[in-house]
Structure 1
């Protein structure tokens, strides 16, 4: 690939960069090329873009985090006003209630929300690309609409969740519709300034529109699993255990990098149940749902460009550049919002000034001389910009049904009749790529082998 100079910006001679719409993970391709350093005059110093995918969390750290998470849940058993002057009658009532329902009692929605927010703050440091303040805000608000619609029962009368929002797509649509109505009613109670701030957050979370929203949705399910552990003490019927494990898998579906934490908590629950039943964990195989092969791979859901990018980062020392980080930072910092509408407005406004602005911002990050990988290219202008700077293009393709299945697993909505024909999904359809990788399988190793073959060919 060689080296090229562009003013004061020097390119690495071993860089990869991916292109394509992240919503259609495999529609457009990969770009490979060279990353300029950020020493040039056109550097954008105020844009904090992280060069890399979410790091792996080691088992020891996950175990420590789960220990602290469970310890922190003791706070719900600490009563206010207990045995204080002027609160004698209420203290007697509380003491009697504790005899009937020992601590920890069935948690309130407010207690659950606090524990979700607390766990968010405990774990968000593992993932530097997330905004901690936004995650905490989303966690605090995430179940507030239950004041109106109540705590929706995911188990159902038969205990399987098949007839509820847990595993029934139509019921999930109905639940989301009710939540949307509840949000509108709640927002009508607020002052305009508060309404603007909370509206973005509530709809962002409902739609799972950002990595922060996906992270909080995953923590929501992780905390629910933790509560089952501390409340039930291993006394779960087979059907309850099966439902709990299957439903809690959404932790990984929403945010795959939390796989190690989920695995630790899941293992503790199984061990607790086995001890209560005086059997081995292997004796629980009947009620324990089988997990898909490769389930414990942190990014198993992303079997397209993102999966290849992660492999290059983890196994070949690449750094990742992302075009969306700069826009998100601007919207968050200047407008205190990351609504889809605002992101599109800012994107279009700055592209009207310079159609390459977001690529320039992404390439301004200092990656310490590492080769880079892009995993976001959607338009012809992006293609021309990167090709003109020496990048090599890779295209990853997968059948439509495979791509739709992956999007469904991540909880992302996709209207084939509309979204499949958006310019961002079709504009590069007839462009020439330097390599094409067929990716219709469900396993990572074959995909990694294809990447190794292409890397060898580029040497």
Structure 2
């Protein structure tokens, strides 16, 4: 990519540093979309040995680009996002990707199509990790930041995305145990007050 094109693309991607997600960090501040994407990518790298059949470089690319549409729409939590919101984000993202130089324009368009179809092992891994990172972040945030519906959501979010992998099912179960422990501790604290 030519330096001018690279700088232009990076200026757009930088918006994700200031695009806040619904969830909070363990330190009590809102998490950015960029931080979420970074940790999903790190998860992919660190579990690469569990999936020798997968192209984990492709998975990491998927993790890095998966929320770039939120540069244009902001973050809308999954439990509030409508089909109209999704269509708008996809359209704006597609328009931006179409302006990128080759080969990135084609590669990213192909990756997004694969991610949407979720038929390949790589796309399944990416989507599972995207969901599991959100659960992990909720587990790290203060219960006071959770909405009432998030107790059950955090216990079950991503269950459907991990069914193809024994490893990811085990990871999901460990996260559920962590969630249950956090909720239990919160209930005990409330009883003491």
TM-score, scaled relative to structure 2: 0.74
Aligned partner of 1:139 in structure 2 is 63
Distance 2:73 2:141 in 1: 25
Distance 1:180 1:102 in 2: 31
Residues 357-384 of structure 1: per-residue CA shift (max 9 Å, x gap): xxxxxxxxxxxxxxxxxxxxxxxxxxxx
Provide the secondary structure at the position in 1 that maps to 2:27.
Answer: coil
* CA contact 2:155–2:180 (8 Å) conserved in 1: no
Instruction: Identify the match of residue 201 of structure 1 among 111, 117, 120.
Output: 111
Higher relative contact order, chain-length normalized (CA < 8 Å, sep 6+): 1
2:193 is equivalent to residue 269 of structure 1: no
* CA contact 1:221–1:250 (8 Å) conserved in 2: no
* CA contact 1:116–1:219 (8 Å) conserved in 2: yes
Matched ranges for 1:54-203 at <5 A: 103-156=27-80, 164=81, 171=83, 174-203=84-113
* CA contact 2:26–2:142 (8 Å) conserved in 1: no
Aligned partner of 1:327 in structure 2 is none
Distance 2:28 2:39 in 1: 13
Aligned residues: CA RMSD: 2.4
* CA contact 1:176–1:206 (8 Å) conserved in 2: no
How far the C-alpha of 1:271 sits from its partner, in A, is 0.7
Distance 1:231 1:259 in 2: 23
Distance 1:102 1:180 in 2: 31
* CA contact 2:162–2:172 (8 Å) conserved in 1: yes
Provide the secondary structure at the position in 1 that maps to 2:47.
Answer: helix
Provide the secondary structure at the position in 2 that maps to 1:107.
Answer: strand
Instruction: Identify the match of residue 154 of structure 2 among 230, 244, 267.
Output: 244
Residues 61-109 of structure 1: per-residue CA shift (max 9 Å, x gap): xxxxxxxxxxxxxxxxxxxxxxxxxxxxxxxxxxxxxxxx982521111
In the alignment, structure 1 segments of 5+ residues that lack a partner are 1-100, 157-163, 166-170, 280-459
Matched ranges for 1:12-411 at <5 A: 103-156=27-80, 164=81, 171=83, 174-233=84-143, 236=146, 238-253=148-163, 255-257=164-166, 258-278=168-188
Distance 1:129 1:103 in 2: 37
Q: What is the number of equivalent residue pairs in this alignment?
A: 164
Distance 2:61 2:181 in 1: 34
